[in-house]
Amino acid sequence: MHKTLYLDQNHINETIKNFFSCTHLPIKFYASNHTAIASYGYNENFNCLVEEYNIYKKIKESLRNNPFEYETLLVEEDINFTGFFACPKNKDKGIYILGPYVTDQSKITDIVFKPKKFIPNLISFLHSIAKTCDLVEGHHPEGISPQNFYVKRAVDYMYENYKETINLDTLAKKLNVNKCYLCSLFRKEVNKTFSQFLNEIRIEKSKGLLVEGDSSILDIALNVGFNNQNYYNMTFKKLTGFTPLEYRNYHN
């Protein structure tokens, strides 16, 4: 019993840590007993907002009667929180809450800016991270092989070294495992190819650079590990629906 709870805690912590690292969007997780068991990106002021407006209770009540996958609350002038079930098929598995965030970039505030249209993508991204962490941290359903230890190490390495040139050959050598076996195992456990997963990390990391700085698109592409601007543009468009320039212009 204690071991299961410990693995659940590790899974949640790893999920929200990776999500915040990629998006800079504060996040909390509430267990089914209504307790906030993990958070990332929060400070005293943000916690006060959550308590003052009873965010968790309001979002949970709204979600119970909401046919859509998430619920967004506007608590003050353009201060938003978005909540959704950790497992849409089982509403007793807890709730993630994203925020606070603002949707008007012109406002001068210490609260992160996130356009409303990107919230569904962020939710999908979080579910993807949660699924990956669930598998690679050992908290996996019956039938998943213990060999996903290699997948965990591969994922950790990608998050730590996404700026560098990474390919299956070098990664397999570092893990001392056959390249074809690693490729097959990664796809089986994560349901994505090695390249797809790495590209998602790089694209999410590049979003902050596009919004927060004035570096050229080429410099940003190189900074997050792409060696070809055209491929970066194509990948960004495929994953977000926007080109990097369109994404930057929208935020500016």
> What is the per-residue pLDDT across 221-248, written as a single tens digit (0 to 9) for each?
999 999 999 999 999 999 888 899 988 8
Mean pLDDT over residues 96-125, rounded? 89
**∠ CA 217-194-161 to the nearest 5 degrees?**
55
Domain ranges of the chain: 9-134, 140-251
Q: Please give the pLDDT value at position 3.
A: 34
Q: Is the pTM of this model over 0.75?
A: no
Residue 98, pLDDT above cutoff 60 = yes
* pLDDT tens per residue, range 182-226: 898 888 888 889 999 999 999 988 988 888 778 999 999 999 999
187 within 8 A of 154, measured Cβ to Cβ: no
**Does 9-134 match 140-251 in CATH topology?**
no
Identify the band that residue 133 occupies on the pLDDT scale cut at 50, 70 and 90: low
CATH topology of domain 140-251: Arc Repressor Mutant, subunit A (1.10.10)
Identify the band that residue 5 occupies on the pLDDT scale cut at 50, 70 and 90: very low
29 within 8 A of 96, measured Cβ to Cβ: yes
Which burial class, exposed, middle or buried, applies to 240 when counting CB atoms under 10 A from its CB (0-12, 13-18, 19+)?
middle
Residue 118, pLDDT above cutoff 90 = no
CATH topology of domain 9-134: Beta-Lactamase (3.30.450)
Distance (Å, whole) CA 71 – CA 83: 5
Identify the band that residue 126 occupies on the pLDDT scale cut at 50, 70 and 90: confident
Mean pLDDT over residues 139-161, rounded? 69
Interior/surface letters 205-228, b for 16+ CB within 10 angstroms, e for the rest: bbbebbbeeeeebeebbbebbbee
Identify the band that residue 138 occupies on the pLDDT scale cut at 50, 70 and 90: very low
Residue 162, pLDDT above cutoff 50 = yes
